Amino acid sequence: MDLSHKDRLQDLTFKSIIDALPCYLMIQNRDFQILFANHSFLKDFGADAPGKTCYAVLKGVQHKCQECPVKETFNDKGFHVSEETIYLNDGRIMEMLAFSAPLFDVVGNVMASIKLLANVGSIKSMHRELVALGQSIAFLSHDIKNILENLHGGVYVVDEAIQEKDWSLSLQGWDVVKRNITEITRISQNILFSAKDRQPVLQDISPEELARQAGLLFADKAQSQGVQLLLQLNPDVPNQKMDPAGISRMLSNLIWNALQACQKDKQKKLHQVFVRLDFYDNFHFMFEIEDNAGGMERQTYDNLFKEIFSTKGHSGTGLGLMLVRRIVKNHHGKIEVLTKPGRGSLFRIIFKL
Amino acid sequence: MEYQNILFCTDYSDDAESAFIHALDQAVKYGAKLHFINVIPSVNPCGLHLHESMSKEDSRKESDAQDQRLRLEELGALKKAYENKCQDVVEHTFEIKVGSPDVEIIKYADENRVDLIILGTAGRHEKRRLTYTKTAANVSKYANCQIITIGSPERETSPDG
């Protein structure tokens, strides 16, 4: 290429600008083969990326992507935008906004497409958090309103009972008040726990002791509901480095959910909730919370652990399971769920020994 | 009730061997396809870092690769153990899954339109584990099809089964 000194300088400046762009830039042909890539791209995807296909480099797959802005650009000579998830060599997964634009030859045909990828992961994450926050506030407001209405109902019954001097009726009303105070206390505790961006405070603790304490915490509630709360704890599971506050909250949320499910299920005469601690295999141990209540329908199961999803109407916000998921994630554990409508549910939490 | 897909779950325990005889009988009787499954534990069920120097994603890939190698080894063992016993008798297929036996058996049954699961009452289990969690009990409770659990006549049973 015969360029004048001035042109070469301009070319160098142009290339240095392209390389310095805080985004990925590449040029692809009709077969999605990378013809050119800027420095940022080559640094993150390897200097050997040119010559390979875009989908092989960005997604690690051997097939074309279903939705591709470059394909659209070749089809209609237009400018296109899409959202893409890409996989970096170091294992990071990034959410990107992809822009494509045509590069024309002298007769106006698209000879190549320029593709620019900008990282929008932090914006997407913020967006998700804002959506979750909005949903949380809506659900929580609704639930707190329902609980307050129930409290008013309970107070009304107690007032009536006092006027009528009806001791039995006052006990019924007082029971409603107590139940709803417990519920609103629980919601506020979960809100406080979830609102703080707290890091787990790891301590050497006995999982058996944590499970026992969590079980005992609900002994009275279970008894008042006529539910058998059974602890099956393997004392051989050794002490672990865990965050006692987090694990206690995880267990209590799961036990609470199980008890609520038992209360809701009117099909069985005897309800049982099991709290188990045992080895999972040679290198892992597990907690299990199992009930024999009504189980979950497919839709509920599919939505489990999504931010703020609840089927419990006035008696639950879904915040509890969201916290369980977060706590398990913070402890690098795994959650498994078995459920069947009419039979019950089992939540298994697996942690490394 | 006629069965089209029968799932036989094995861990090669005495109970599983007793269950196999029944599974084969049922498959022959109904002309059903017999699915053999063995669920093996994952090397890294929680997807943790295998080494401090490895990224989580690399650890996951390495764990998956190790699981896949184990899967292939176990698939050979499963075929070796049962292929001769049912060849030319019933249509059959072999599968090795990695994970928790109860979860994987139920998932496989749902995905493959299994209408009968046959498995041993007591399988091999981690020696240190208490008998609280039983694969057969969980599959019986949570699977969405009929279940038959079979105990070996030779097995000594404790009062809780």
Tokens 């325990």 belong to which residue?
B13
Residues in chain B with CB shorter than 8 Å from the CB of A330 are none
Of B41, B46, B132, the CB nearest to A352: B46
Is the CB of residue A271 less than 8 Å from the CB of residue A228? yes
Are A346 and B103 a contacting pair at CB < 8 A? no
Residues in chain B with CB shorter than 8 Å from the CB of A352 are 46, 48
A241/A263 Cα distance (integer angstroms): 35
ipTM: 0.86
| pLDDT at residue number B160 | 43
B38/B7 Cα distance (integer angstroms): 10
Are A232 and B129 a contacting pair at CB < 8 A? no
Q: What is the pTM of this model?
A: 0.68
B43 or A65, which is more confident: A65
| pLDDT at residue number B50 | 62
Are A234 and B103 a contacting pair at CB < 8 A? no
Are A350 and B45 a contacting pair at CB < 8 A? yes
| pLDDT at residue number A149 | 87
| pLDDT at residue number B94 | 93
Our CA-based measurement puts residue A136 at a distance from the nearest CA of chain B, in whole angstroms, of 28
Give the helix/strand (H/E) hosting A262.
Answer: helix A244-264
- Digit-coded pLDDT (tens) for B30-55: 999 999 999 988 877 777 766 666 66
Tokens 């002994």 belong to which residue?
A219
Tokens representing B63? 């764990």
pLDDT band at A197 (very low <50, low <70, confident <90, very high): low
In sequence order, what are the beta bridge partners of B148?
Answer: B118
- Digit-coded pLDDT (tens) for A117-171: 998 877 877 777 777 677 667 767 777 888 888 899 999 999 999 999 999 999 9
